[in-house]
Amino acid sequence: MTSYADLGLVNTVELFKKAVSGGYALPAYNFNNLEQLQAIIQACVETKSPVILQVSSGARKYANQNLLKNMARGAVEYAHELGRDIPIVLNLDHGNSFELCKDCIESGFSSVMIDGSHFSYEENVALTKKVCEFAHSRKDYVSVEGELGILAGVEDDVSSEHSHYTQPEEVEDFVKKTGVDSLAISIGTSHGRAKFKPAQCTRDANGVLIPPPLRFDILEEIEKKIPGFPIVLHGASSVPPEYVEIIEKYGGRLSDSVGIPEDQLRRAAKSAVCKINIDSDGRLAMTAVIRRILAEKPEEFDPRNILGPAREELKKLYARKNIHVLGSAERA
């Protein structure tokens, strides 16, 4: 059994307090491999931002939980070597059972998400409470994120055709009964690179899809019910058109891609939203560069010369998010 404190990691409690009062959000970036982790740490050290590293069930299957955990431990040392001891959280993304959360907690994660949003309200409360009781009784307090409301799109093994917005009248009861440390809500974001169907969008003069705005009215209602309580936004990639264009130019097919506009995320980050999850944008950035290099340099076969530039683009993307979208730069 390993405690996260021994790995140099921290939980989210103090970080969220500061983020809510400071009007910014922490970046929660998913990682599955070395280059993604290097890019995240380089960007967060350079912009002096705290960071939440996320491991999904998909990442556990792809890369092995123990390897990922030890990479996170290495990331603490890597940040130090790069010149700044930024706070680093290791979070299980979309945990779907008590056993999975327990396993991650015992192996050194400093935070877990228990996503009971697909269960009935009562089942969600019971499962989330059970995870909180276990996580909070550890020698080093492990923070827990719960979820109310359902995001459309694919969440690991679970996929939903339609979103169900969080009901503000449930949040106070949920937080009180479960003891959760933060709450993921559904106000119109969704997972993946095609967050809305074209029929849900309008189009600008150039035919580019314009998504419907986030439901800030629901967010405000939630904030009234649980003032200052840490809120989390999943599915918050912006799906930059420039990456989609490069991918399609070099043979990819990503029709009807549309994300959440960055100005809306910036507005959310200034509220009690203190954690913003971004994964798809990183995938697009890497794929764009990889496709371009493979097309333009057919003689190239050293993965370092393909993944290295992809890592550089990823780092630029994350640094820009920290500075201009989340407001987390200069907070570490």
Residues marked as catalytic: 93
Which residue is closest to ligand G3H by CB? Answer: 58
CB of 94 to Zn ion, least distance (A): 6
Q: Identify what 58 binds: Zn ion, ligand G3H, ligand 13P, none; CB under 5 to 8 Å per kind.
A: ligand G3H
Query: With 0-12 CB in 10 A as exposed, 13-18 as middle and 19+ as buried, what is 307?
Result: buried
| Closer Cβ to ligand G3H, 195 or 331, answer by number | 195
Residues 146/174, Cβ–Cβ less than 8 Å: yes
* H runs (alpha helix) in 64-166: 65-82, 98-107, 121-136
- Binding ligand 13P (rule: CB under 6 A), the pick from 87, 116, 188, 192 is 192
C-alpha–C-alpha distance, residues 231 and 272, integer Å:
6
In this structure, which amino acid lies at residue 154? Answer: V
| Closer Cβ to Zn ion, 211 or 235, answer by number | 235
Residues 238/301, Cβ–Cβ less than 8 Å: no
Tell me which stretch binds ligand 13P (CB under 6 A): 66-74, 77-85, 275-283, 284-292: 275-283
C-alpha–C-alpha distance, residues 169 and 201, integer Å:
28
DSSP, collapsed to helix, strand or coil, labels residue 315 as: helix
CB of 93 to ligand 13P, least distance (A): 5
| Closer Cβ to Zn ion, 15 or 151, answer by number | 151
Q: What are phi and psi of 328, to 5 degrees?
A: -90, -5
C-alpha–C-alpha distance, residues 259 and 62, integer Å:
25
Q: Which helix (H) or strand (E) segment is 5 a member of? A: none
CB of 59 to ligand G3H, least distance (A): 5
Q: Pairing state of beta strands 158-160 and 153-155?
A: antiparallel
Binding mask 194-223 toward ligand 13P (x if CB under 6 A, else -) reads ------------------------------
Distances (CA, A) of 95 to 58, 190, 241, 264: 11, 17, 31, 27
Closest CA to 105 of 114, 278, 32, 180: 114
Q: Identify what 278 binds: ligand G3H, ligand 13P, Zn ion, none; CB under 5 to 8 Å per kind.
A: ligand 13P
| Closer Cβ to ligand G3H, 8 or 128, answer by number | 128
Q: What are phi and psi of 160, to 5 degrees?
A: -125, 135
Q: Identify what 313 binds: ligand G3H, ligand 13P, Zn ion, none; CB under 5 to 8 Å per kind.
A: none
Task: At 264, list the tokens.
Answer: 């809306």
Measured CA angle at 290 (ends 82, 70), to 5 deg:
40
The position carrying tokens 């169907």 is: 197
Binding mask 238-277 toward Zn ion (x if CB under 5 A, else -) reads ---------------------------------------x
| Closer Cβ to ligand G3H, 45 or 155, answer by number | 155
Map the footprint of ligand 13P across residues 93-122, applying CB under 6 A: 93-94
Map the footprint of Zn ion across residues 216-235, applying CB under 5 A: 234
CB of 212 to ligand G3H, least distance (A): 21
- Binding ligand 13P (rule: CB under 6 A), the pick from 35, 145, 181, 279 is 279
Q: How many residues bind ligand 13P (CB under 6 A)?
A: 13
CB of 184 to ligand G3H, least distance (A): 10
* Interacting residues toward ligand 13P by CB under 6 A: 30, 93-94, 191-192, 234-237, 277-280
